[in-house]
Structure 1
């Protein structure tokens, strides 16, 4: 940007530098006000402004690269101007290292710095450099204090359930009567939109989150919940289909259980109404984070033992898949390592199903059930969890104040986190449902089994049995069939 020259003869060449660290509206109003004041100062002194450099929404203290600042330094080094005009010295620097580089450049090229607020900073003199360094130190201290205040404010907001910004989380954010100004990303124009109350749950989405917890606790998969969401027409807050990653993140979100999070760490109980009890949240997290329950990506299994039955050829322990490979007309369980033949999938599943139904039809089937969570005091566990988290916070404060060493902080934190993990496991057990509950004690186990969907049946299979498919004997079996049932090796995980 250039100003019109006056007939006052030769005029001093100057440049203007403007910066604002946080532009909340995106409209650039802060830098515009700085530019107007700087241009007025240049006009008052009769300087010719040859360029205006602007870094909008960039902090000088963060260390983030400022493109226009770097371009200004390069131009000054090439003799573009001998005066730098800025609103205040803290617009130029908040880092002592950066200031020293600027001082060296100004000394080398004879550049003077003039500010609207702090007057002239003559970097060619010892007193001017001292003034610049003092102002820089003050600016750095202000930035550090601001950082501390912002961190404390954000932590308080997290505890109060106030949203820190960004796309609203699924399940939360009811429109209010108030509005707020935002910048349309496509047009760049300011628009008024309804403000959201992030402490209030969106009823339909909250019910969907609760449904997801119920389905996983009943032995169904994450995929089944995602299909349920699609059938009901649910989308992400951005209006996109909900995929595996999005769905998993939705159920893992501590906010659902009223747990406040700051910088990725749980910091205690929030001040909003949870969508699900803490114990249900812990149980679902345990399910989703358990590596033994993860299945490989791809199509949903259509057979009872797919990716569950193990190959028993030699020392192979791969899980089998159902295919029609090798010219077979019927689907069969095969090892992915492609050694050995296939075993008819329908026959194997029928045999395993009969074993499960027969065992659960016995009078002592109730002995297979795990002890219930009736002996767990959920309220006491939650209180213990809060106390451990408070201890972690206190340890961090003591270390920050220099009252304990790094070794003491690390050891104390490790112990507290191990205790917290134990409490979380107990909370998860309080809501975990035994997959066998819906089959034990019913009048007709086979009828109840058929009423289950495949995912629930597979959950029962995982709970009760470990099935290994060994090489079959050739020829006709003693019962007259050609299917070798003895090659299906079964180990009962609960009650043989």
Structure 2
């Protein structure tokens, strides 16, 4: 905020005001500081050239204070000889910044006056010593405040209390009561619904459970994003669900009743989980697998695109579908572009027929992966609960000040490592074999056709590797021109090979 230039001979002053937390967004804290500083300038007969304002910015956090830096630049250019602040701790709580300010004040002959602490004479050794002592005290206050806030937030997390922020998908049932808040865009006070963040929103919880089961059954993030678009499901802000949104919602520990502080799990929350913890761990294992493709990319339209191998000589590459070269139909061609193409529609149909025939045999159950029978689920769950209680006890001792940070961190790290191992075992029991919906189905072909393409591709990945060898030329024994024998099947399960 600027004022008129001072009359000739009058003392030139500037005001700096700052508040580190503006809960309402109304700027009332800086307004009060400015009024008090302006009153001091009027009593002293100084002309205020400009008011520099940093609202909701901490001097201790290290974040850039734009108006503070602008004020220093103006002072260095000789704009004013007086700086007015409400208190020295509004000016700086950083020792480095204080020394910079002292050097500038000494070099440019700048005097600092405060409403609360009087004049700070930085031109004398005693004045600089006073400023440094006040700065050290202010820094200690900031550190203690930060420690108190961090401890309180950790205690809330350990108790499973909501830490604030954007409403997470699945949580927050309206209580019927209203509360007032300031709209940061308009600055106006509005009424919003009070939410019970310990309660799940039924329809959103059902969606989370469905998404979890789909991922465990071989579904993809892409297919779930499409499902949301088809069903009109949006984020809690009303935006279209993106690939990253879906991933974030599936990986949120809160869904499984797990409390988190600063990105780390700290124990069980005080709410009923939406998703079984073993299923949640399994989804995390799937989505965080380094070998999994993490970019959405183009949606595949063919069963074997980048899954079928090129079998020409020793070529190690995969094939994709193209209509290049003036062909009238889509064809599988090697990524390197060498050799001819194989008609994609005929290849896909043949591969599907072979897979359906294999899964229709009497011994198809032998293809399924071992079930949870080889995992002691109840024993692992009991062990996970014991580790969780230990983590909660450690948090309680730390929150009460009975345990130092070092032992607390070591204990939590060890417990988290043990819990991760247990949950990986539980994840095995929760992950569903892609073949499970087909093996034993009354009509395997009908069940296969009912699957989305991505689910079919997951079955293909799990069951067999298909290689397109160089086909023979001319008419085949069946009277057609498609060389079925050039499609090679190397089965990953069952020890069967077919060429």
Class of the TM-score when normalised by the shorter of the 2 chains: 0.7 to 0.9
Alignment of 1:449 onto 2:468: no
Secondary structure class of the residue paired with 2:275:
coil
Deviation at 1:128, TM superposition (A): 1.7
State whether residues 158 and 262 of structure 1, in contact with CA within 8 Å, keep that contact through their aligned partners in structure 2: yes
Secondary structure at 1:423 match in 2: helix
Match of 2:203 in 1: 204
Look up the SS of the partner of 1:235 in the other structure.
coil
Separation in 2, partners of 1:149, 1:13: 41
CA contact (8 A) 2:160 2:268 kept: no
Corresponding residue of 1:111:
110
What corresponds to 1:461 in structure 2?
A: 460
Matched, 1:371 2:335: no
Determine the structure 2 residue equivalent to 1:56: 55
**Are 1:231 and 2:230 an aligned pair?**
yes
- How far apart are the structure 1 equivalents of 2:444 and 2:75? 86
Aligned equivalent of 1:288: 287
CA distance in 1, matches of 2:258, 2:69: 44
Q: In structure 2, how many angstroms separate the alpha carbons of the residues matched to 1:383 and 1:273?
A: 15
Mean Cα deviation higher: 231-240 or 173-182: 173-182
The answer to whether 1:91 aligns with 2:90 is yes
Cα distance, 1:234–1:445 mapped onto 2, change above 3 Å: closer
**Partner SS state of residue 363, structure 2:** helix
**Structure 1 position 24, deviation (Å):** 1.7
Gaps of at least 5 residues in structure 1 are: none
Contact 1:384 1:423 in 2 (8 A): no
Q: Distance in 1 between matches of 2:294 and 2:79?
A: 64
Paired residues for 1:140-179 under 5 Å: 140-179=139-178
Aligned counterpart, 1:386? 388
Asked if structure 2 preserves the Cα contact closer than 8 Å seen for 1:388 and 1:420, the reply is no
**Alignment CA distance shift 1:259-1:314 (3 Å):** farther
Q: Which residue of 2 aligns with 1:489?
A: 488
Whole-Å Cα distance in 2 between the matches of residues 476 and 271 of structure 1?
A: 71
Distance 1:382 1:399 in 2: 23
Would the alpha carbon gap of residues 451 and 193 (structure 1) be closer, same or farther in structure 2, given more than 3 Å must change? closer
Q: How many Å separate the matches in 2 of 1:419 and 1:246?
A: 30
Checking the alignment, whether the CA contact within 8 Å between 1:174 and 1:202 is kept in structure 2 is yes
- Superimposed CA distance per residue, residues 77-109 of structure 1 (whole angstroms, 9 cap, x where no aligned partner): 344333322111100110111111212222233
How far residue 18 of structure 1 moved from its aligned partner, in angstroms, is 1.0
CA distance in 2, matches of 1:403, 1:187: 48
Alpha-carbon deviations, 1:309-348, whole Å to 9, x = none? 1222233333322333333333322223211212222332
Which deviations, in whole Å up to 9, do the C-alpha atoms of 1:38-70 show, x marking residues without a partner? 222233333333332221111111222222222
In the TM superposition, residue 134 of structure 1 has moved relative to its aligned partner by 0.8
Distance 1:146 1:420, change over 3 A: same
Partner of 1:427: 426
* Greater shift in the superposed pair: 151-160 or 237-246: 151-160
Task: Name the SS for the 2:313 alignment partner.
Answer: coil
Q: Structure 2: how far apart are the matches of 1:386 and 1:222?
A: 30
Q: CA deviation at 1:390?
A: 7.1
Q: 1:367 to 1:388 in 2, by over 3 A?
A: farther
**Please, which moves more after superposition, 74-83 or 336-345?**
74-83
Structure 2: distance between partners of 1:295 and 1:65: 34
Q: Following the alignment from structure 2 to structure 1, what is the Cα–Cα distance between the partners of residues 315 and 352?
A: 24
* 1:207-266 Cα deviation digits (max 9, x unpaired): 211111122222222222222211221112222211222222221222211122222222
Distance 1:441 1:12, change over 3 A: closer
Structure 1 equivalent of residue 359 of structure 2: 360
Q: Note closer, same or farther for the CA distance 1:312–1:385 as it changes in structure 2 (3 Å cut).
A: farther
Preserved CA contact (<8 Å) 2:17 2:33: yes
Q: Give the secondary-structure state (helix, strand or coil) at the position aligned to 1:327.
A: coil
User: Using a 3 Å threshold, how does the CA distance of structure 1 residues 188 and 223 change in structure 2: closer, same or farther?
Assistant: same
What TM-score, normalized to structure 1?
0.88
Q: Secondary structure at the match of 1:326?
A: coil
3-state secondary structure, aligned to 1:15: strand
CA drift of 1:298 comes to 4.5
- Tell me what 1:21 maps to: 20
1:241 and 2:246 matched: no
Residues 88, 118 of structure 1: 8 Å contact kept = yes
Q: Distance in 2 between matches of 1:330 and 1:284?
A: 39
Per-residue displacement from partner, 1:389-427 (whole Å, max 9, x unpaired)?
6799899x99986789xxx97xx9997766554333212
In structure 2, what is the Cα distance between the partners aligned to 1:444 and 1:33? 77
Q: Distance in 1 between matches of 2:126 and 2:214?
A: 72
Counterpart secondary structure, 2:246: helix
- Mapped pair 1:31 → 2:36: no
1:10: how far off?
Answer: 6.2
The range that moved more, 430-439 or 327-336, is 327-336
Distance of 2:339 and 2:388 partners within structure 1: 55
Partner residue of 1:436? 435
The alpha-carbon distance between structure 1 residues 443 and 105, as it changes in their structure 2 partners (threshold 3 A), is: closer
Give 1:388 shift.
Answer: 8.5
CA contact (8 A) 2:222 2:296 kept: no
Q: Note the C-alpha offset of 1:195.
A: 2.9
Taking the aligned partners of 1:68 and 1:352, their CA distance within structure 2 comes to: 68
CA RMSD of aligned residues (A): 3.2
Given that 2:219 and 2:455 are in contact with CA atoms closer than 8 Å, whether structure 1 keeps it comes out as: yes
The Cα offsets for residues 262-312 of structure 1, whole Å up to 9 and x where unpaired, read as 222222222222211111112222222335453864543333222321222
**Equivalences for residues 76-87 of structure 1 within 5 A:** 76-87=75-86
Q: Is the 8 A contact 1:96 1:137 kept in 2?
A: yes
